[in-house]
């Protein structure tokens, strides 16, 4: 059974003291949980999509940790990303933290990286665009092919 969820995407401008005027992107799920980022020079949409996947599907991400870069604070060991990229099945944009068994996603590397990671854990991502002459993303449909958290 496929479970679907619609995520709303909104754009704005930061009014905060230190980030006044920066672009602001918010992704809100059906339960009202918001994932927000602001700034520039990197993929804002990829960042909020990565934050959503990281928060909601941590268990699934841990199940495929061998496909990510790794880091261990206890002994300082880390993988070499350039070598990792040549590894078959490697997924760029995620790091497995061995010392506490967490997976963190770096959505700033691009939404295409986040979509590949989502597909690897059984999610299908489809974008919803506004109508009119100047189209932009206004939402995301996440289809969960596994139907489990």
> Looking at residue 136, what DSSP letter applies?
-
State which H helix or E strand residue 139 sits in.
Answer: strand 137-144
- Strand order from edge to edge, sheet including 123-129: 34-38, 23-28, 3-13, 137-144, 123-129
Residues 6+ apart with CB under 8 A from 56: 29, 149
Residue 64, Ramachandran bin (φ over 0: left; ψ between -120 and 50: alpha; else beta): alpha
| Model confidence pTM above 0.85 | yes
The residue length of the chain stands at: 149
Model confidence at 50, pLDDT cuts 50, 70, 90, reads very high
- pLDDT at 75 (0 to 100): 85
Model confidence at 77, pLDDT cuts 50, 70, 90, reads confident
Residue 78: phi and psi, rounded to 5, are -150, 155
Please compute the mean of the pLDDT values over residues 30-56 and round it to a whole number: 93
């Amino acid at each position: 059974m496929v479970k679907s969820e619609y995520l709303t995407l909104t754009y704005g401008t930061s009014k905060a003291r230190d980030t006044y005027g920066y672009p602001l992107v918010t992704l809100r799920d059906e339960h009202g949980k918001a994932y927000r980022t602001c700034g520039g020079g990197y993929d804002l949409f990829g960042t909020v999509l990565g934050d959503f996947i990281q928060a909601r599907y941590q268990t699934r991400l841990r199940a495929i940790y061998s496909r990510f870069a790794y880091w261990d604070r206890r002994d300082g060991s880390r993988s070499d990303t350039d070598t990792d990229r040549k590894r078959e099945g490697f997924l760029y944009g995620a790091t497995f933290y061995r010392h506490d068994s967490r997976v963190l996603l770096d959505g700033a590397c691009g939404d295409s990286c986040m979509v590949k990671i989502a597909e690897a854990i059984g999610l299908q991502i489809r974008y919803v665009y506004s109508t009119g002459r100047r189209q932009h993303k206004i939402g995301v449909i996440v289809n969960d092919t596994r139907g489990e958290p």
